[in-house]
Structure 1
Amino acid sequence: MAKSSGNPLITGSGLWQQLPERVLFENLSFGLNAGDRIGLVGHNGCGKSTFLNILAGRGESSEGSISVSRAAVVSCVEQHLPKHLFDLSLAEAVRDALPDDKRDWMDWKVEVILPEMGFEPHQSEVLCKDLSGGQMTRLMLARALMTEPNLLLLDEPSNHLDLPTIMWLESFLKSWKGSFLMISHDATLLDSVTNRTWILQDRKLHAFDLPCTKALEEHEVLTKARIARREAEEKEIKRVEASAKRIAEWGRTFDNEDLSRKAKSMEKMVDRMKDDQTEAVEAYPWNLSIAGETIQADRLVQLKDLDVTPPVADVFLYRIDDIAVRPGDRIAVMGANGTGKSSLLRCCWEKRQSDDGEVRVHPRCRIAFYDQTLQQLPGESNLVEGMVAVGEALGVDLRVPDCEKTIIAAGFKYNQLQQKVSKLSGGERARLLLVSLSQVQANLMMLDEPTNHLDLYGRNELSHQLRSFGGSFLLVSHDRHLVEATCNRFWVVQNGRLQEVNDVDAAYALIAETQVKPIKVAAEQEAPLEVEREEMVEAEASSSEDEQLERLIELEELMEADLARRPNRQSPHLQVKWKGEIAQIHEQLELNG
């Protein structure tokens, strides 16, 4: 692996992580050095967060060792705000990050760090539960910086952030003087702030002294070379096997010991060739084909005198006087959270068949809608029933055999067809919904944050499919790479109005004017922002509980697997650690009693 010139902060040797059902990674050796600004990428479920937790000392590897330099002051930026902080004030939550014996006499640091994170002094008493997702991210950064680290470990810090906050985070990381390792699926962010990339794939860590996009391109070249090398080796193995079999038959037919010995020697050669064979490349479990149709029409949808309101409250957000969506339009709807982007798509969807004239749809225009909540897929249905239900909601009759073929072609396994939708991960549900919508042959797709649950590879695949999509689409997204790669019109929702700009740079410039805003107390918040903030807090709390339940299941499986081993092969110290963590999760989720 390539190494940077800085002094080592963390080194790892022979790191393995074994789950009951599979190996996450094996024999990883690496060095994280001073000056490294590393992006850690890989598909969902490959073990990135587990790896990060091991580096942070919050988890243990099955084998191998981690060495942390005395010069390293490591701090983690949490992915979700701990629930016990929700009822604390902003200042109290930051103070909570200090060790108990330092909280009283280092209180001054709170007053210093909050302004650096964009908070005003009078906002220090705002409760954490009243913060938006972006404000919580800045709070979690503030907590991490209280110990004055020189190495930050960040686990998907840009998840669910709006574009202004992502741009703020990018600016913060650019100006950060220390080192960091960051898990992210945002290629644009990674390209902007990193100088190295670690790709976790096929249980190995592949290191490049390049930012994300260039690293992925080089890794793809190396991967294709591996595939070609393995195919050539397999071809040669089959040739030698066939020759050995043929010579062995001749030896038996003609009772020739020399030929028989030669055949056995060739069979041993085949065994050695298989042992030395290039390791197979695991296929990424994502395949997607979104088909659409263009219709000959002057316009697909006309929005006229449309009052955009959120679905949960009869509150006016802004009015659209007169704007049209035409064939060939690929429109990005951009702006900060709470401005009414998703509300615009939902208004169009709900009013598409009304007679009030606010949303006029061409009679031959078939519309497909991707809801970021993924509620279009019934949780208690299996995968095939879920796809059929999506089709019915859009007026399309999908046949079960066709759905089965489509789902399997999209990378799902045959034994998953009868699995309940509720048991799928967020990324799998997103993939299933996109695949379901692809069967509609829509003329217009309305996509509300389709990358929220997708990893970097899934985002790239979606970008590729949208570039070749035959119809038009309206896309709400904070993913700059996706917007830049696929869109040709740009609507910005800001300051209570929707305006169209000429290009994406003009959109970014307009959005950049939306500086990180001071936090308002709940009573002063506008109703739609308050509702959105409450929903975000609930969603993040729910997500945290889901992760704890998944961790509980994982711990119980680890315990069961270890106890099933012979006594001399068990790990008592790990069992004690697992039992403690299981008890802690039971207490947090109130499962005791």
Structure 2
Amino acid sequence: MSVINLNAVSLVLGDPLFTDLNLTLSKGDRLGLVAANGRGKSSLLALMHGTEDPTTGDITRGRGLRVGHVRQHLPDGDLNRTLYDYVRAALPQDQADYESWRVDVALDDLSVPYETQRTALNALSGGWQRTAMLAAAWITEPDVLLLDEPTNHLDLQRIGLLQNWLARLPQDVPVVVTSHDRAFLDATTNRTLFLRAERSRDFALPFSRARAALAEADEADNRRFANDLNKASQLRKQAAKLKNIGINSGSDLLITKTKQLTERAAKIEAAAKPAHQEKGAGDIRLTNSGTHAKALVSFDDVMVQTPDGRDLYRTGKLWITPGDRIVLLGANGTGKTQLVKAVHRALQGGADGIRTAPTVTLGYSDQHLTQLKDSDTPMTAVAGQFDVGDQRARGLLAGAGVMIQMQDTPIGKLSGGQKARLAMLVLRLTQPNFYLLDEPTNHLDIEGQEALEEELCAHGAACLLVSHDRSFVRNVGNRFWQINRKRLEEVADPEAFFNAEMASA
């Protein structure tokens, strides 16, 4: 049964985000919405929710349909509320007093500790803020649930809990989810829409299988386009021969036939559609400046500590050598980021027990992208740091998906996805031989993640990284260090850790 229907819907915000989109959302659908950053995923959810209107086309909803919409960010005006009060405020005013038990049930289902419920949202992590928005949407008893990047800022345990929570929802409640977490999409969806400026594609498959089907469809489009152009070319060659014969012989019939062939060729060329080329992923091409050092970084049984000096764990004696792509594994709060920061300090000239080769050229990106200054613009971040010239800087930014209208905007005003693409470009231009990456896929779209994976592996880059993205870890890592009972231990693969974290949800 259809609950939301989109007919020939287009949305233009400066440039077309998507055009002529036809989509029927039915009961039982678990729809994954996939597109590059800035290509209209959040806008499409807003259209389905009814808070925005399409440029053209029609959207119909079932009579009395209640739509729950979980956005990416809390409104600033709600940040001073406690998590509990924020969720309670989602109830209609006449129900808030005598049905507040529904808040307790929702927060218990989402495993929110009592002390966290009573904490102001501005003192909580982005993950808890997302949990609050999810609970607030669910207690309104929606008929449809729209989730915009629900796994952002969540650790593996919370991602596992969210997966389980979605699996327990009534089967007749359709869910639409945007996410860059491929493993999460595979686990929670049964249908995938690849949103494009033209000819969006919809498959009744979870992400990975849908992605393979999309590649086949695009390849078929490529072959069809090449055949159409070849057919038009042959017609034009025929027309040129007939034209010469017709002129030399003075035959009006041949001149007419020439015109007909030329018109047919023009029609075929006009109708021919090239296969889709994704422009949103950005041009991420990392290079390796090279080093002859046997060990880039070595640890002499270092004690990793919290910022206030509490002991967390010891590293033992470990080395990072060229070609090692090491992933740090550990539950939230165990000190993964603290080790990354310790290595960063060592490379800046000060950390006891960590030695670094003098030939190391560092490429660094932390989870908050603090290497980018909010007061800079993308142009100053590129042209000001690297000897590329203004014209080439603008070309590089455009190639990385930072469009011309964004290039002179303060970085602090860019979206998370725009900042992520800029950070990857700056990383590329640094030409490091050692990458230190803390949650590099935060806000990076799927195309960008895959490009980063390919480049890290293809160039034999050495790196130490932290990520909650299971697909990224599996595809990039060739060594794995796990924090286990106050020690850092090397393990064969991440699967036992993944399984334990997801099972504890």
TM-score relative to the length of structure 1 = 0.76
The answer as to whether partners of 1:377 and 1:421 remain within 8 angstroms in 2 is no
- How much does 1:378 deviate? 5.2
- Given the alignment of the two structures, is residue 153 of structure 1 paired with residue 153 of structure 2, yes or no? no
Question: 1:269 maps to what in 2?
Answer: 264
The answer as to whether partners of 1:289 and 1:465 remain within 8 angstroms in 2 is yes
| Inter-CA distance 354–49: structure 2 relative to 1 (3 Å threshold) | closer
| Inter-CA distance 419–92: structure 2 relative to 1 (3 Å threshold) | closer
Which of 438, 444, 457 aligns to 1:448? It is 438
Question: 2:467 maps to what in 1?
Answer: 477
User: 428-437 vs 470-479, which deviates more?
Assistant: 428-437
- How much does 1:130 deviate? 2.5
| Inter-CA distance 243–379: structure 2 relative to 1 (3 Å threshold) | farther
- How much does 1:279 deviate? 5.3
What are the within-5 Å matches in structure 2 for residues 433-444 of structure 1? 433-444=423-434
- How much does 1:247 deviate? 3.4
| Inter-CA distance 383–256: structure 2 relative to 1 (3 Å threshold) | farther
Distance 1:51 1:261 in 2: 50
- Given the alignment of the two structures, is residue 51 of structure 1 paired with residue 38 of structure 2, yes or no? no
The answer as to whether partners of 1:407 and 1:432 remain within 8 angstroms in 2 is no
| Inter-CA distance 512–283: structure 2 relative to 1 (3 Å threshold) | closer
Q: Which SS does the other structure have where 1:346 is aligned?
A: helix
| Inter-CA distance 419–86: structure 2 relative to 1 (3 Å threshold) | closer
Question: 1:290 maps to what in 2?
Answer: 286
Question: 2:105 maps to what in 1?
Answer: 112
Residues 415-444 of structure 1: per-residue CA shift (max 9 Å, x gap): 689746737654344334334433444332
The answer as to whether partners of 1:377 and 1:387 remain within 8 angstroms in 2 is no
What are the within-5 Å matches in structure 2 for residues 460-471 of structure 1? 460-471=450-461
| Inter-CA distance 376–130: structure 2 relative to 1 (3 Å threshold) | closer
Which of 289, 296, 299 aligns to 1:300? It is 296
Question: 2:211 maps to what in 1?
Answer: 216
| Inter-CA distance 430–113: structure 2 relative to 1 (3 Å threshold) | closer
TM-score relative to the length of structure 2 = 0.88
Q: Which SS does the other structure have where 1:49 is aligned?
A: helix
| Inter-CA distance 489–195: structure 2 relative to 1 (3 Å threshold) | same
Question: 2:396 maps to what in 1?
Answer: 407
- Given the alignment of the two structures, is residue 13 of structure 1 paired with residue 2 of structure 2, yes or no? no
Q: Which SS does the other structure have where 2:145 is aligned?
A: strand
- How much does 1:349 deviate? 1.5
Question: 2:479 maps to what in 1?
Answer: 489
Distance 2:53 2:206 in 1: 29
- How much does 1:15 deviate? 1.6
Distance 1:412 1:73 in 2: 36
Distance 2:111 2:403 in 1: 50
Question: 1:580 maps to what in 2?
Answer: none
Distance 2:141 2:259 in 1: 66
Q: How many residues align?
A: 500
Q: Unaligned regions of 5+ residues in structure 1, if any? A: 1-6, 392-397, 517-593
- How much does 1:99 deviate? 1.7
| Aligned-partner residue type, residue 146 of structure 1 | I
Residues 474-509 of structure 1: per-residue CA shift (max 9 Å, x gap): 011111100011112222347765444332012224
- How much does 1:348 deviate? 0.9
What are the within-5 Å matches in structure 2 for residues 74-93 of structure 1? 74-93=67-86
| Aligned-partner residue type, residue 306 of structure 1 | V
Distance 1:260 1:366 in 2: 68
The answer as to whether partners of 1:86 and 1:127 remain within 8 angstroms in 2 is yes
- How much does 1:464 deviate? 1.6
| Inter-CA distance 500–171: structure 2 relative to 1 (3 Å threshold) | farther
User: 469-478 vs 489-498, which deviates more?
Assistant: 489-498
| Inter-CA distance 17–383: structure 2 relative to 1 (3 Å threshold) | closer
| Aligned-partner residue type, residue 264 of structure 1 | K
Distance 1:58 1:438 in 2: 39
Distance 2:345 2:475 in 1: 29
Distance 2:379 2:122 in 1: 39
Q: Which SS does the other structure have where 1:201 is aligned?
A: coil
| Aligned-partner residue type, residue 451 of structure 1 | T
Which of 1, 26, 34 aligns to 1:33? It is 26
| Inter-CA distance 150–273: structure 2 relative to 1 (3 Å threshold) | same
Distance 1:78 1:456 in 2: 19
User: 135-144 vs 286-295, which deviates more?
Assistant: 286-295
RMSD: 3.1
The answer as to whether partners of 1:151 and 1:179 remain within 8 angstroms in 2 is yes
Which of 310, 316, 327 aligns to 2:310? It is 316
| Inter-CA distance 128–471: structure 2 relative to 1 (3 Å threshold) | closer
- How much does 1:79 deviate? 1.9
Question: 1:96 maps to what in 2?
Answer: 89
Distance 1:256 1:148 in 2: 77
